[in-house]
């Protein structure tokens, strides 16, 4: 009896090994760089970075002006008054540094969350494509030692991702219009 079960398992295993398994690969870094969602994310990240850099420049300019003012008045101020100005300057500098660090941390966290959201959406689209196309497994091209270009489906996935992005983008204004309409109250007598 055990021999029959083992031989049945061996036959089933052999049959499954003979079945053709369709493996495909994608380059997820390329998908993030070239997809419309990825490009919109990169553009937003650049704007955020420019905003932070502008804030840093204006803060540095303000601190430099305060330092020059202290230097210019140092000869006419009493020792105690000069010390107060220096302490006020240092307090302002520390406050500005904390403020900038907080803004940078918030920006990084926001960008990480948005990147993860985009990646999650991409994975969802890829899973649906695997089911629809009959792909048995999808490999990350960068994670494998070697993947033949014949297995690469990056361009097909990119087209699908962009189509989904455009569909969401075009549906979004309709959703905003519906939600911006005033709600009517219905009174029941």
Per the domain annotation, does 169 fall within a domain? no
Per the domain annotation, does 171 fall within a domain? no
- Average pLDDT over the chain reads 84
Is pTM beyond 0.75? Reply is no
Per the domain annotation, does 13 fall within a domain? no
pLDDT at 13 over 90: no
pLDDT digits (tens, 9 = 90+) for 105-146: 999 999 999 999 999 999 999 999 999 999 999 999 988 888
**Residue 88 CB neighbour total at 10 angstroms:** 12
3-state secondary structure of 152: strand
Write the DSSP assignment of 29-43 as a string of letters.
Answer: HHHHHHSHHHHHHHH
Per the domain annotation, does 189 fall within a domain? no
pLDDT at 6 over 50: no
Count Cβ neighbours within 10 Å for each residue of 47-83 and write b for 16 or more, e otherwise: ebeeebeeeeeebeeeeeeeeeeeeeeeeeeeeeeee
Number of domains the chain contains: 1
Supply the CATH number for residue 50's domain.
3.30.910
CA dihedral 39, 163, 126, 172 (to 10 degrees): 80
The sign one gets for the Cα dihedral 70, 73, 76, 77 is negative
Per the domain annotation, does 79 fall within a domain? yes
Provide the pLDDT confidence category of residue 82 given band limits of 50, 70 and 90: confident
pLDDT at 15 over 70: no
Domain range holding 75?
A: 22-162
pLDDT digits (tens, 9 = 90+) for 35-79: 999 999 999 999 999 999 999 999 999 999 989 988 888 888 888
Per the domain annotation, does 65 fall within a domain? yes
pLDDT at 187: 47
Contacts of 121 (CB under 8 A, 6+ apart): 37, 164
Per the domain annotation, does 14 fall within a domain? no
Find out whether 156 and 135 touch, Cβ atoms under 8 Å.
no
pLDDT at 155 over 90: yes
Average pLDDT over residues 140-162: 92
Per the domain annotation, does 64 fall within a domain? yes
In angstroms, the CA 158 to CA 34 distance is 8
């Amino acid at each position: 009896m055990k021999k029959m079960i083992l031989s049945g398992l061996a036959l089933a295993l052999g049959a499954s090994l003979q079945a053709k398994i369709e493996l495909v690969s994608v380059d997820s870094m390329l998908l993030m760089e070239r997809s419309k969602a990825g490009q919109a994310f990169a553009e937003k990240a650049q704007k955020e970075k420019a905003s932070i850099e502008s804030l840093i420049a204006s803060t540095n300019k303000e601190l430099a002006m305060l330092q020059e003012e202290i230097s210019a008045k140092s000869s006419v101020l009493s020792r105690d008054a000069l010390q107060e100005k220096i302490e006020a300057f240092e307090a302002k500098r520390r406050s500005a540094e904390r403020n900038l660090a907080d803004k940078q941390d918030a920006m990084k966290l926001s960008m990480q969350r948005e990147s993860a959201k985009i990646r999650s959406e991409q994975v969802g689209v890829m899973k649906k494509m695997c089911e629809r196309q009959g792909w048995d497994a999808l490999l990350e091209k960068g994670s494998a030692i070697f993947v033949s270009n014949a297995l690469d489906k990056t361009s097909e996935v990119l087209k699908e991702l962009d189509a989904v992005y455009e569909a969401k983008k075009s549906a979004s204004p309709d959703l905003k219009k519906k939600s911006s309409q005033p709600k009517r109250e219905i009174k029941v007598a």
